[in-house]
Chains A and B, each alone.
Chain A
Amino acid sequence: MKKSRIAFLVLIFLIVFFTRYSFFSQTDTFSDDSSYYALRQIENIVDTGKPLYEDQLSYSGRTFYFTPAYHYILALFFLTKNIFLLKIINNLFASLIVVSSFLIVENITKNFFISSLIALISGFIPLYFAKTLNSLNPSSIFFPLLILLLYYISKLRLESKKYSSITTLLFFLLIIISPHSLILILGLLFNQILVKIDGNKIDKKEIEIFIVSFFFYVWYYLFIYKSVLFNHGISILKQNIPITLLADYFMTPTPINILLSIGIIPFLLGSYAVYFISTKEKMFEANILASTSIMVVLFSYFGILEFIDGIILIGVFLTIISSVSIKLIIDYFIDSKIKHLKSFVTLLIIMLIMPSVFSSLMQGEKLLSENLDLEIYKKIDSNIESGAIIIAPISSGHYISYFGKKKNVIDSNFLMFENVEQRISDVRTIYTTPFYTTAISLAFEKYGSTYILINEEARKRYNISNIQSYNEQCFKEAYKVNNDIVYQLIC
């Protein structure tokens, strides 16, 4: 690639990154509770060299089962304990989707202009932008890496010697970063099945990579989840998310939901491209994207993949495949020799980029406007004795553990924890029962808790203004920040 083109690609990358920067630099906190769980893991790695598997605070003491690769990678940049640096690194990784998309689209279309356009759009896919902007989660590495790997797999067909090592290495990296890498492994297999059905020759290299990566995947996750699999069985695949909360995690996939999340224009162009590829043209790179998309749909349908992740992946794939339609449109206008080609192309760019960029910026604004008030958690450590257990809504659990360094009764990490449904129901009862004896017997006798937090989240989730069984004899205000109150049980 020419230097000027590399410079242009770097420019697109920087545009995406600095747009992100303009948002995440406005706040020194993260936008969700699970980022603080990740932060605890990263801090523990920096302090001890190991992830926090045995945690005394979450659920008042439990064992975590997870793949720590993402946390180790970020820990390398957290040696100075600078959270802002962590945000920068996380967003740099997330912005790399621009490079991955560029490479694969250039491979498909051999057109620099279209590749750059798609690279820019992929940097502003609304849901992806929102999910990785101000949160610590493996998606920021997983999605760019997945697209990069698809690019290398497509290159493998042409020059296997040159690309086999890097492809294998990236595959192993993808597997250790997220269990969702199974989507790509099965996508590869599915692609070969389709090739065989179509009467074409199976690609040996792809099958070999499938075999190695599949067995590595099974070995690695059997190693990580051996105990959890033995105790929970196959149900682990649904991440033990309680039925009562399933709707929060796996939204109902309606066509409108999907359209709005992906963007109407990429959706239309992508759909037409899928139709075009499947009927008129053999295009390996696009076929593998389509096979992987089918796996994404299946995983989402069976509840193995979070709906949001599924939509992000479909969005990325459709955006990339839409490059085929864009090329067709541009070729058509070049062939028809219309006079206002430049005007048309400008209009096309605006139509393609603006909705995604606008929608992403809106998502960023929305995230920052929510502006979580974390003061109540920050004061827990100095106001409440060590060893205390605090009852709080699910989404406050990680904040209590991270800022307050106190034990919670429940948080959003449900994996490998028995009777989560019961805990959810008990916490709800504690907030909503009109009988203080019930609330106190559950909180104190069952969970050994002497503190209850009432905040906006609790009010919203349980539709209450205060603890329903509140009375002055049994509930003493331990401390208060704005409208958030921590009560101490004194009966």
Chain B
Amino acid sequence: MIVYIALCDKNGIIDRVIRNIPIGSINEGQNIRDLFEDSEKIDSLLTQTHSYGVSSQLRLKSGKNSFVYITIMTLKDKCLVFIYDIESPDQLTLLTETALSVLNVPEITGNESYESGYYEIQKLNSQLINYQRTLAKTNARLQGLLEEAHAAKCTIEELERDTLTGLYREKIFYDKAHKIISKYAESDFDIIAVDIEQFKIVNDTFGSDSGDRLLMDLAVCLLSIQSDNKVLITRARADTFFALIPREKNIYNNLQKNLNIFIEDYPLPMRLQIKTGIYEITDRTLSVARMCDRALLAADSIKGIFSRKYAFYDNSMQEKLMLEQKIVNTMVESLQRGDFLVYLQPKVDVNTEKIIGAEALIRWNHPEFGMISPGDFIPIFERNSFIYALDMFVWEKSCSILGDWKRKGLCRIPLSVNVSRVDLYHEDLPDTLFSFIQTYDLCPHDLHLEITESAYVKDSVQLLTIIKRLKQKGFIIEMDDFGSGYSSLNTLSELPIDVIKLDLKFIREAENKPRHQKVMQAAINLAKELNLQIIAEGVETKAQAELLKELDCTFAQGYLYGRPVPESEFLKDLKNV
């Protein structure tokens, strides 16, 4: 392709070369006419005025002896000369573009002369490139910052997550939940607490890998409730999960369904119990942490109750908790001050109604709440281990009573005391009890130890060993609450026991139901066969007493024969009998 554009005068002297796609070295000051063979033709083109241009085809002097097109247009006193040729039609566009580029030349468009503006244009062009460069640099920097921010966000997200389950960490959950609750002021939300009962056993028995796996799997199961971005889940403590969920119909049914399936299919040879507590957020001024406490309180309220999988929080739970806290706060002081009292309840021969022994029972005369039922404080003390201190108090008090009776020759009946399952974990228990016996100059069989049935079942070898040691020391062992748990009759013969105390439910159910009576009869017969004494608890009516006689159960305890009373009253009753 050839495109040569130049401005020249009427004589052909080139004033300015605008484009030169290569035709050779023909430059300013030279004559355009020198390019062509036919000087006459080019002369005539140059000398005439062609306001709209005139074209021709001329043979070039130099080079390939070829023809080129020439178009000349007159501009005032100058000529604009186009010399051009193309090899193929697709060069046409480039040719046109190049031709049109002369419009940018000020001398042609009549603007200021090119020379003066040349450096300005160059400067401007460079400046534009420098702007572009600065922009590109800034962009790259922004991109870098963006990536850094993204990385930082990822790190933050990672830090926000519990490494085991990938759920939010507790603190992050609190923050995010608070934001969501505040943001959606019109929506109702619940906080749920999900807790695996006896999770420690999983870790102890199957190893912490299994425990971790269980937590991860449970996390996945819980994520099934994550229906939208308003649902947040955290693993707050070892085996406690909290979730914030917008209140919805059926959500708990679905959750429960999922949890049931989860438990049913879970590949661990252990019956998992998962409790869900729900706090329906009513008081939005509470901190999320407090809301979670409430949900957990609801979950805790059904711990150990097999049939209940979930519970809603209500204010009584909170009150109960407050009460518990007060109990805990005052227990040590109370024990020192002597607020705890030992009451005695008689055990009788049903046929003669003669007192054959008594059970020492604890009572708490609280300076603030008055008399508190053992049912309210014993479980708390069992949880916080204060029970051992309290039981020791009862044991020593009972021994002191027995010693007193012995010295004064008042009576020679044995007293039975409760030994909590928790007490059995104290290795020194047999020695402690024996030291009381010695202190008050008693025989071990003067003191009967009532150990609840569940102790024999739940905790295996270790507890049985302790009970055996107690029996070896000569203490009489009574199995308390027989029938309330799951003790198996065929292992009864192997247990280190002397007495069976039939749970009070037994007699209540047997009263009007012949089938239950049959079961009770069988139990009584079995005990006798095994040479075990049997005492029925909770006898309240004459009819029940009659039934016992009928079933040939010799001994009983219950309101019918006497309520738990202070020692002085007990002695009075004893005299009256």
- Chains A and B belong together in one complex: no
